Amino acid sequence: MSPPTQETINAEICELRDAYAKAVAGGAPRRDHPDRDYPPYRSSVLRHPKRPLVAVRDPEAMELTGPVFGTTDVTELDSDLTRQHVGEPLGERITVTGRVLDRDGRPVRGQLVEIWQANAAGRYAHRREQHPAPLDPNFTGVGRCLTDDEGRYHFTTIKPGPYPWGNHTNAWRPAHIHFSLFGTAFTQRLVTQMYFPGDPLFPYDPILQSVTDEAARRRLVAEYVHDLSVPEYSLGYRWDIVLDGPCATWMEKGR
């Protein structure tokens, strides 16, 4: 069966938006997080959990804690994706920084923040990557850091390019960076995505459009801050991450 066309995807998105707006107008609570099965995002229908969670007799035995999250495992080089190889990577160098906050705006300290992304041509350095864009031998696209006492993280990287992803006819993902946040164990992991302002692909992306609340969708887009730009070196973006509460950042389900 051939993938649906963009017109079909747009019609489904409009229908879901209208249904959500009508429900909110009727008194239903607003929600920032999308349904687990969002039809325009085709694979969500196939992979979302359909059975209740399995109760574990010994929850502590299921958690991995320890030195893998320790400060000695994270170096300065881990947060600068442009200096992890001998040569200079291709593309627009950027600085991405922000704060990890709780629902009351308090900083979350010592949080392990990991990122992964495509290169400037829109290709991931992964063996299962199918996009025939060029690889960059000087860019792997993976980094990590620990938040400081103010909850702040900081990365230097290359602005990723858009890429096709086969969800529907002529489907392209907007430029984005994946973020993973850990507490003190693997069971406390959250995953989300950061986008860049003014991307023309926003209306055509079912993943972003699955966040039906407009304010929550805007919170996924980084802000360009000129004062964060480094002269003759990089452009600066700020993106804060709120872990819970009414202004929480959208997190991917099933992670």
Select which of 99, 123, 168, 178 is catalytic.
Answer: 178
Amino acid at 226: H
- Cβ–Cβ under 8 Å, residues 237 and 175: no
| Cα–Cα distance for residue pair 82/104, rounded to 1 Å | 34
Active site residue 176: yes
Nearest to 144 by CA among 68, 219, 90, 92: 68
3-state class (DSSP) for residue 241:
strand
Nearest to 103 by CA among 246, 2, 211: 246
Select which of 173, 195, 204, 237 is catalytic.
Answer: 173
With tokens 């747009």, the residue in question is 10
Select which of 38, 41, 163, 195 is catalytic.
Answer: 163
| Cα–Cα distance for residue pair 241/56, rounded to 1 Å | 30
Select which of 38, 41, 99, 124 is catalytic.
Answer: 124
Active site residue 178: yes
Task: Classify the C-alpha dihedral 170-211-184-111 as positive or negative.
Answer: positive
Select which of 99, 123, 144, 176 is catalytic.
Answer: 176
Amino acid at 237: Y
Q: Which residues are catalytic?
A: 124, 163, 173, 176, 178
